């Protein structure tokens, strides 16, 4: 059926507005990061930098702690993602393929982890980490991020494993393969898209997290990028050019990762939500 | 000894870790809330102290505004975006990719970028408003008592409406086409279709998404903390930030724990009421 002209116009107007709203802050971040200090504080502000310069990037890269924090963020995000995936693979396989007493309770226990308010567990978690001597260590942050990404990872992977026909595994078991062997040689390769989706979710969540890092990483040897960004902002004086350059440095890697994996990731996330 | 079931063995490592790092802290919060700094039992004293503080009711009130204001607009804008992105038009794929950008941008980056855009003197928002004549003079978005909370809510809406859009879009795509065809045979307009076919069909998704948004908003500290730290004059102090400040700025771990228990209980009651209310509503609709 043909759409009336007014409908088409409305769609284009809506799409244009949507693009502007979503893209504008990001574009403004880019534009501001390329401006000279003087131009940044000029009224009226210019839409395009008059003398585009990389000096903000240079000062972030050579005169701040950002490179160190970038490295910390990479180590912590990769570490917690790998650990979360390993635990989630086994747990999801157990939930997807076996019946056992208390399974429903165990599954809801894992999901409740997703519902707990951060504020409610942050104090005891801090005390626990202090007791384990893990405050201001990579391991402490890796553990914390692993548990906050674990619930949704288990949820997503369980639905992926369920979608793989068990008959494929049964044949291998008859041939004498072990359960773990079957999991690694048959189930995992088949659920690779799901695995990638979960990994992207865990990585991006960890990369972006601010509050836990603020509490558990007070030493610059373990601080992550979000903390570095907040450090540029002081009460009386903010170097907005550097802030915007650091924001770009922090955003572009995850945005690229996310956009390249978008189909997989969104598919994995929505699979669970629309089945019910 | 009986052997543990295989499924449980697979799930065990995750369950052990979750118990250690989630269940234990939760129990420990309870213990902290009824003891003092030396670990001696004090009964309800921490609760009395924290409830007697003047900022506590103010923070509860701010939290309600923050959660309510964010969610209403996130749901409306997200659903409208999903309906738009479900139409066929050239460039739809690109628009869909761009529409998830706010959601992908790290929370702290969104906060600082918007803080720069809301800047009173050099912010682009004030410039656009004054140069177009919408406002006579620059507005102190982040310092004016009437604008600071709405500004925070606006950032939160911008950040999360794409998530609503993605989820609702997935729901829209699973609606069978014959429902629309039947509606069109009956001469339904676009609005009739939206109201009588689309919205009822995506109701389950909207319910699930709203629940998630409530939990996230109750949880969310980054945007407000990064920009105003709860100020000025506690105007944007929401309960999670109050807990955070009690614990990590004033080192009143026991009072922070008492407030956590109250906050957690209220949050869970809201979530439970919501689920119950909607479950009943669902029965009537059937």
* Cα–Cα distance, A34 to A37 (Å, whole number): 9
Cross-strand bridge partners of residue A233: A238
Candidates A232, A237, A271; CA nearest to A64 is A232
Tally: H helices and E strands in chain A:
15, 0
In this prediction, residues B53-65 reach a mean pLDDT of: 94
* Chain B neighbors of A266, CB-CB under 8 A: 100, 166, 170
Q: Of residues B2 and A81, which shows the higher confidence score?
A: A81
Task: Give me the phi and psi of A121, to 5 degrees please.
Answer: -110, -5
Please report where in the chains the tokens 């919205």 appear, as a residue. B199
Which residues in chain A touch residue B263, judged by CB atoms under 8 angstroms apart? 117, 119-120
Assigned token pair, A41: 């504080």
| Backbone phi, psi, residue A238, to 5° | -125, 130
Q: Does A243 contact B at CB distance below 8 Å?
A: yes
Average pLDDT, chain B: 89
Contact state of A22 with B99 under an 8 Å Cβ cutoff: yes
Question: What pLDDT shows up at residue A272?
Answer: 52
- List the beta bridge partners of residue A238: A233
Residue A233: phi and psi, rounded to 5, are -90, 110
Chosen from A8, A18, A69 to mutate, greatest number of chain B CBs within 10 A = A18
Tokens standing for residue A213: 């890092």
Considering CB atoms only, which of A100, A204, A210 is closest to B226?
A: A210
Distances (CA, A) of B74 to A235, B70, B159, B226: 30, 6, 9, 21
Structure tokens at A268: 């994995």
Domain range summary for chain B, segments of one domain joined by +: 41-281
- Chain A residues whose CB is inside 8 A of the B18 CB are 109-110, 113, 147, 150-151
**Distance in angstroms between the alpha carbons of the first and the last residue of chain A:** 31
Paired tokens of A110: 């894992």
pLDDT score, position A62: 92
Name the residue facing A93 among B10, B17, B121 (closest C-beta). B10
Interface of A with B in 19-78 (CB under 8 A): 19, 21-23, 25-26, 28-29, 32, 40-45
Residue of A nearest to B232 (CA): A235
Interface check for B127 against chain A (CB to CB < 8 A): the answer is: yes
Share of chain B above pLDDT 70, in %: 96
Across the interface, whether the CB atoms of B89 and A11 are under 8 A apart is answered: yes
Instruction: Report how many Cβ contacts below 8 Å link chain A to chain B.
Output: 274
| A17 touching B (Cβ < 8 Å) | no
pTM here is: 0.90
A218 inside 8 A of chain B by CB: no
B161 upstream amide cis, omega within 30 of 0: no
CB < 8 Å from B in window 112-151 of A: 112-128, 143-144, 146-147, 150-151
Q: Is B35 helix (H, G, I), strand (E, B) or coil?
A: strand
In this complex, do A102 and B95 lie within 8 Å of one another by their Cβ atoms? no
Identify the DSSP state of A71: H
Q: Taking CB atoms and an 8 Å limit, are A276 and B158 in contact across chains?
A: no
Closest Cα in chain B to A91: B11
CATH number of the structural domain B41-281:
1.10.3720.10
Residue of A137, A81, A122, A79 lying closest to A211 (CA atoms): A122
Task: Please name each of the domains of chain A with its CATH number.
Answer: 1-53 (no CATH), 54-275 (1.10.3720.10)
Q: How confident is the model at residue B66 (pLDDT cuts 50, 70, 90)?
A: very high
Predicted pLDDT at A3: 62
Q: What is the pLDDT along chain A (276 residues), one digit of tens a residue?
A: 456 677 889 999 999 999 999 999 999 999 999 999 889 888 888 899 988 999 999 999 998 999 999 999 999 999 999 999 999 999 999 999 999 998 998 988 887 777 777 777 888 888 889 989 999 999 999 999 998 899 889 988 998 898 888 888 888 888 888 888 889 988 898 888 889 888 988 999 999 999 999 989 999 999 999 999 988 876 667 889 999 999 999 999 988 888 887 777 777 666 654 443
Residue B38 to residue A89: CA distance in whole angstroms: 42
Name the residue facing A274 among B92, B205, B239 (closest C-beta).
B205
Residues 31-70 of B with CB under 8 A from A: 32
Q: Which tens digit of pLDDT belongs to each residue from B166-214?
A: 999 988 888 888 888 888 888 888 888 888 888 888 888 888 888 889 8
Give the residues across from B41 on adjacent strands. B35
By CB neighbour count within 10 A (0-12 exposed, 13-18 middle, 19+ buried), where does B36 fall? middle
Q: pLDDT tens digits, residue range B98-155?
A: 998 998 899 999 999 999 999 988 999 999 999 998 888 999 999 999 999 999 999 9
Give the Cα separation of A30 and A48 in Å (integer): 10
d(CA B69, CA B151): 11
How far is the C-alpha of B23 from the C-alpha of B193, rounded, in Å? 47
């Amino acid at each position: 059926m043909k759409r009336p002209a007014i409908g088409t116009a409305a769609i284009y107007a809506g799409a244009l507005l949507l693009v502007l709203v979503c893209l504008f802050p990001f574009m403004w971040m880019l534009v501001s990061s390329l401006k000279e200090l003087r131009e940044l504080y000029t009224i009226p502000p210019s839409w395009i930098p008059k003398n585009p310069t990389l000096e903000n990037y240079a000062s972030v890269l050579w005169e701040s702690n950002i490179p160190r924090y970038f490295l910390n963020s990479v180590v912590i995000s990769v570490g917690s993602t790998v650990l979360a995936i390993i635990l989630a693979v086994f747990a999801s396989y157990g939930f997807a393929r076996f019946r056992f007493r208390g399974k429903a309770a165990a599954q809801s226990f894992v999901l409740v982890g997703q519902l707990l308010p951060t504020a409610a567990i942050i104090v005891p978690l801090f005390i626990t980490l202090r007791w384990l001597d893990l405050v201001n260590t990579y391991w402490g942050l890796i553990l914390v991020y692993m548990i906050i990404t674990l619930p949704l990872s288990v949820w997503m992977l369980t639905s992926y494993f369920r979608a793989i026909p068990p008959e494929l595994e049964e044949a291998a078991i008859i041939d004498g393969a072990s359960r773990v062997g079957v999991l690694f040689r048959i189930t995992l390769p088949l659920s690779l898209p799901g695995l990638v989706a979960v990994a992207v979710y865990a990585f991006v969540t960890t990369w972006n997290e601010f509050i836990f890092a603020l509490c558990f990483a007070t030493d610059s040897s373990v601080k992550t990028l979000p903390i570095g960004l907040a450090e540029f902002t002081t009460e009386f004086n903010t170097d907005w050019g550097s802030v915007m350059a650091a924001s770009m440095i922090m955003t572009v890697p995850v945005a690229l990762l996310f956009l390249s994996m978008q189909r997989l990731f969104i598919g994995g996330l929505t699979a669970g939500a629309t089945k019910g | 000894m009986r052997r543990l079931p295989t499924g449980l063995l697979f799930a065990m490592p995750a369950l052990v870790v979750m118990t250690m790092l989630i269940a234990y802290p939760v129990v420990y919060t309870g213990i902290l809330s009824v003891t003092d700094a030396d670990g001696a039992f004090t009964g309800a004293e921490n609760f009395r102290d924290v409830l007697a503080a003047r900022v506590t009711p103010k923070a509860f009130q701010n939290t309600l505004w923050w959660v309510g204001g964010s969610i209403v607009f996130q749901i409306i804008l997200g659903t409208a975006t999903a309906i738009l992105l479900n139409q066929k038009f050239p460039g739809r794929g690109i628009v869909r990719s761009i529409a998830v950008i706010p959601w992908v941008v790290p929370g702290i980056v969104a906060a600082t970028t918007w803080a720069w855009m809301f800047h009173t003197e050099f912010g682009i928002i004030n410039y656009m408003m004054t140069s177009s004549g919408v406002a006579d003079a620059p507005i102190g978005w982040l310092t004016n008592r009437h604008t600071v909370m709405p500004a925070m809510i606006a950032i939160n809406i911008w950040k999360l409406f794409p998530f609503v859009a993605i989820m609702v879009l997935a729901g829209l795509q699973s609606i069978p086409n014959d429902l629309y065809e039947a509606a069109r045979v009956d001469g339904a307009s676009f609005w009739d279709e939206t109201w009588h076919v689309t919205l009822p069909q995506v109701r389950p998704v909207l319910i699930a998404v709203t629940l998630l948004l409530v939990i996230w908003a109750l949880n969310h500290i980054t945007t407000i903390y990064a920009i105003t730290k709860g100020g000025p004059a506690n105007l944007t102090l929401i309960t999670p930030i109050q807990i955070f400040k009690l614990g990590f700025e004033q080192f009143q771990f026991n009072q922070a724990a008492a407030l956590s228990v109250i906050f957690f209980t209220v949050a869970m009651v809201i979530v439970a009421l919501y689920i119950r209310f909607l479950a009943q509503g669902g029965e009537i609709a059937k």
